[in-house]
């Protein structure tokens, strides 16, 4: 009888272990390969913990290929790099007690020695391994399965802060220096990208970490650059040095090292500061999911050694993510600049991570179905990147309302909604939909676009809902009388607004191109387009092939600009703005000096050029017949090398592009301007 029971236990343990392994492998794949995980880190950790405990209890059932023995997922990619020193992970703790247990383990292993811990933020990003040889960047690879990862050098070198050449210092940077770090995206950039993705009708990533992971895998370097990846270095290998000191040295050499590192001489002192450290995380510009506590001394690290997937000398202390519960009051539909419809959850206001929130985007109809969210339900809310409120789960109300049904008409202008092929979002078909007009006008007048002071949300609301403004061009036909006739409009604000609108006629071509709100065209690409074509007329006439010649523009953006310039509504708008006298629409391309020594060359400037500001240097390039590019690409002909160059220098070296040192450039410029 007893035997049978034991057999039963073993066979159910075996079943459960198989179940856990399958699930963990699936979640590894979702997390590491697709960057779109379905469960939280907490849930994942608990599955892994359960599996570890079962393996400990039934060692005869433990499988060699168990996910507890390795980190991450093997990616089926061609460019694999073997990690000379495997990339480990960290064990997680969730309570002060677990932290003290770690400290006890360390103490009993090292005996009565005095030692220090370093405590620093655990960056919620993507692990990468970097190799520097004699101070020169060689490659970057993802973690992969811990033993080999994917070559991501090209994307990692888009990170502005990462020096690709550091001073060669004996014992510090000479020979092979293996660095490990976390690639991440700042919270601010994540929020901006999410907004853009929503506007374009695609589903944004759930959080900064997933954005960074998804970006690191992209094959389009220009898009990667636009996303603005960043990195923090948090480990090194191949050097006999205590951690804190070595990180200081790296920092001095210009390496972006994990910030807020603190040395403690006991675990008790760490405990008394835990709460404060947790609160501090909100002020960071990056996402953290906890703290990493590491033994500082490399000698003790060596004594303590490593387990299969994690070191014994370090541990992670994970913060539980802040969540709040609220009641869903409504699901509203918002109409964006391009008419894209986004459902938004409106719930009772709750306090979350320092602010009061009462709404969260639901992205699209499919997401509403996936969550099965209904008015009256209770929702669990969290902030992605500490900024964007998100509904992470739904607790159904006892008596439930019927499911949400997507209407077939725009809630604002009642035009029919349509879904383009292959897209997941509905779009309003109304050409003059007030909501889309409102969003377009707001963007047109915004600070980085035409900078029209006074054209804020409430003013735009008034102008659009009164029917005075149906299109961007209507702004330039407004009269003082019309404005004063609006409710709550004082004479002075009317005058100021008209003045600001008139002043916007003088704005540059690059601002104007950005202000048009062409899908995918941000400030940088707008500047590149303005520099390349020099006039709106030339841009309107440009073919797709001409557009692709611009450094940051690939096929998709080229098509977006080309199509926009031929949309009847845009043609009409641009013609009208031309007749209103907007400088950006009228000015012809300035004549290039046909005899310039840089004639026809696409030039990138990096570093500072003594005696010239950046704008003056760019102006000099143009006056000598060249055109300026903001980054090195296959189309670049020449790199002007100033003092303290950035990553553009190594980009140019890699691509074998002609390099002109600033001395020679100044010589050319002097003789050219003295002609």
Of 217 and 511, the one with the shorter C-beta distance to ligand IVH is 217
* Of 310 and 535, CB closest to ligand IVH: 310
Note whether 368 binds ligand IVH by CB under 6 A: no
Asked if 295 touches ligand IVH (CB under 6 A), the answer is no
Question: Which of these ranges, 117-125, 386-394, 404-412, 567-575, lies near ligand IVH under the rule CB under 6 A?
Answer: 117-125
Q: Which of 28, 93, 31, 71 is nearest to 292 (CA)?
A: 93
Shortest distance in whole angstroms from residue 347 CB to ligand IVH: 32
Residue with tokens 């309003």: 428
Least distance CB 259 / ligand IVH (angstroms) = 10
Q: How far is the CB of 311 from ligand IVH (least distance, A)?
A: 5
The interface region with ligand IVH, picked from 9-17, 308-316, 344-352, 663-671 by CB under 6 A, is 308-316
Report if residue 551 touches ligand IVH, rule: CB under 6 A: no
Using the Cα atoms of residue 311, residue 313, residue 319 and residue 320 in order, give the sign of their dihedral.
positive
Positions marked catalytic: 122
Is residue 182 at the binding interface for ligand IVH, with CB under 6 A as the rule? yes
Task: For 184, list phi and psi in degrees, rounded to 5.
Answer: -145, 175
Q: Which of 28, 198, 235, 525 binds ligand IVH (CB under 6 A)?
A: 235
User: Which positions from 602 through 621 interact with ligand IVH, judged by CB under 6 A?
Assistant: none
Cβ atoms of residues 109 and 203 within 8 Å: no
Of residues 294 and 602, the one with the C-beta less far from ligand IVH: 294
Question: How far is the CA of 382 from the CAs of 326, 374, 521, in angstroms?
Answer: 11, 18, 31
Burial track 406-430 (b if 16+ CB lie within 10 A, e otherwise)? eeeebebbebebeeeeeeebbbbeb
Rounded to whole angstroms, the Cα distance separating 219 from 152 reads: 10
Those residues whose C-beta lies under 8 Å from the C-beta of residue 581, and which sit 6 or more positions away, are 505
Structure tokens at 472: 């961007």
The residue count for binding ligand IVH (CB under 6 A) is 15
d(CA 19, CA 389): 33
The verdict on 80 binding ligand IVH (CB under 6 A) reads no
CA-to-CA distance for 91 and 308, rounded, in angstroms? 11
Stretch that binds ligand IVH, among 116-124, 333-341, 646-654, 660-668 (CB under 6 A): 116-124
Site string for ligand IVH, 119-138 (x = CB under 6 A): -x-xx---x-----------
* Beta carbon of residue 198, minimum distance to ligand IVH (angstroms, whole number): 28
Alpha helices (H) along 116-230: 153-156, 187-199, 208-216, 221-227
Instruction: Give the nearest distance from C-beta 531 to ligand IVH in angstroms.
Output: 39
> Of residues 255-274, which lie at the interface with ligand IVH (CB under 6 A)?
258
Backbone angles phi, psi at 639, to 5 degrees: -115, 125
d(CA 350, CA 296): 41
In DSSP notation, 131-155 reads: EEETTEEEEEEE-TTSSEEEB-HHH
Among 141, 185, 316, 624, which residue sits at the site for ligand IVH (rule: CB under 6 A)?
316
Comparing every residue's Cβ against ligand IVH, the nearest one is 127
When the beta carbons of 182 and 651 are compared against ligand IVH, the nearer one is 182
With contacts defined by CB under 6 A, name the span among 311-319, 474-482, 497-505, 529-537 that binds ligand IVH: 311-319
Q: Which is nearer to ligand IVH, 178 or 249 (CB)?
A: 178
Is 301 one of the binding residues for ligand IVH (CB under 6 A)? no
Helix axes 457-465, 434-445, angle to 10 degrees: 140
Q: Which residues bind ligand IVH (CB under 6 A)?
A: 88-90, 120, 122-123, 127, 182, 234-235, 258, 292, 311, 314, 316
């Amino acid at each position: 009888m007893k035997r049978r029971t034991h057999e039963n236990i073993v066979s159910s343990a075996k079943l459960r272990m198989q179940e856990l392994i399958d699930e963990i492998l699936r979640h590894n794949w979702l997390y590491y390969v697709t960057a779109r995980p379905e469960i939280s880190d907490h849930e994942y950790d608990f599955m892994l913990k359960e599996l570890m405990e079962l393996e400990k209890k039934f060692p005869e059932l433990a499988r060699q290929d168990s996910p507890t023995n390795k980190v991450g997922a093997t990616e089926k990619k061609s460019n694999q790099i073997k990690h000379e020193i495997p990339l480990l992970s960290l064990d997680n703790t969730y309570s002060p007690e677990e932290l003290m247990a770690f400290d006890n383990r360390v103490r009993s292993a090292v005996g009565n020695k005095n030692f220090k811990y370093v405590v620093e933020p655990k960056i919620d990003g993507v692990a990468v391994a970097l190799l520097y040889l004699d101070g020169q960047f060689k490659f970057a690879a993802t973690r992969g399965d811990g033993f080999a990862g994917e070559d991501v050098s090209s994307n990692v070198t888009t990170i502005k802060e990462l020096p690709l050449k550091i001073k060669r210092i004996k014992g510090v940077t000479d020979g092979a220096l293996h660095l490990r770090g976390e690639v991440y995206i700042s919270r601010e950039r994540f929020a901006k990208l999410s907004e853009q993705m929503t506007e374009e009708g695609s589903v944004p990533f759930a959080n900064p970490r997933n954005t960074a992971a998804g970006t690191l895998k992209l094959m389009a370097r220009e898009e990667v650059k636009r996303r603005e990846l960043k990195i923090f270095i948090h480990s090194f290998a191949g050097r006999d040095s205590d951690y804190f000191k070595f990180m200081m040295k790296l920092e001095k050499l210009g390496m972006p090292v994990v910030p807020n590192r603190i040395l403690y001489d006991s675990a008790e002192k760490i405990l008394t500061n835990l709460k404060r450290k947790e609160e501090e995380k909100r002020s960071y510009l990056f996402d953290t999911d906890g703290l990493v506590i590491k033994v500082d001394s490399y000698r003790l690290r060596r004594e303590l050694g490593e387990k299969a997937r994690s070191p014994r000398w370090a541990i992670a202390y994970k913060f539980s993510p802040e969540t709040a519960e609220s009641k869903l009051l409504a699901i509203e539909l918002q109409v964006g600049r391009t008419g894209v419809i986004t459902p938004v959850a409106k719930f009772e206001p709750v306090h979350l991570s320092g602010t009061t929130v009462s709404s969260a985007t639901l992205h699209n109809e499919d997401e509403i179905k996936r969550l099965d969210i209904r008015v009256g339900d209770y929702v669990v809310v969290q902030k992605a990147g500490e900024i964007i409120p998100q509904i992470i789960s739904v607790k159904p109300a006892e008596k439930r309302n019927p499911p949400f049904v997507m209407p077939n008409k725009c809630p604002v202008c009642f035009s029919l909604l349509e879904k383009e092929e292959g897209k997941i979002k509905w779009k309003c078909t109304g050409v003059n939909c007030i909501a889309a007009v409102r969003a377009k006008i707001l963007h047109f007048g915004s600070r980085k676009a035409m900078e029209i002071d006074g054209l804020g949300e409430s003013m735009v609301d008034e102008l659009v809902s009164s029917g005075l403004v149906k299109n961007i061009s209507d702004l330039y036909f407004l009269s003082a009388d019309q404005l004063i006739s609006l409710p709550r409009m004082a004479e002075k604000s009317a005058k100021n607004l008209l003045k600001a609108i008139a002043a916007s006629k003088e704005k540059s071509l690059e601002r104007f191109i950005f202000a048009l709100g062409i899908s995918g065209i941000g400030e940088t690409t707008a500047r590149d387009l303005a520099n390349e074509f020099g006039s709106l007329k030339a841009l309107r006439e440009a073919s797709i092939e001409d557009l692709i010649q611009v450094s940051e523009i690939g096929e998709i953006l080229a098509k977006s600009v080309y199509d926009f310039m031929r949309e009847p509504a845009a043609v009409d708008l641009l013609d009208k703005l031309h007749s209103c006298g907007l400088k950006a629409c009228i000015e012809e391309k300035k004549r290039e000096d046909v005899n310039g020594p840089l004639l026809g060359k696409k030039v990138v400037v990096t570093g500072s050029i003594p005696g010239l500001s950046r704008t003056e240097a760019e102006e000099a390039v143009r006056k000598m017949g060249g055109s300026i590019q903001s980054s090195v690409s296959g189309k670049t002909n020449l790199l002007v090398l100033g003092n303290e160059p950035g990553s553009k220098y190594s980009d140019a070296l890699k691509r074998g592009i002609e390099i002109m040192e600033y001395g020679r450039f100044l010589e050319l410029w002097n003789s050219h301007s003295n002609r």
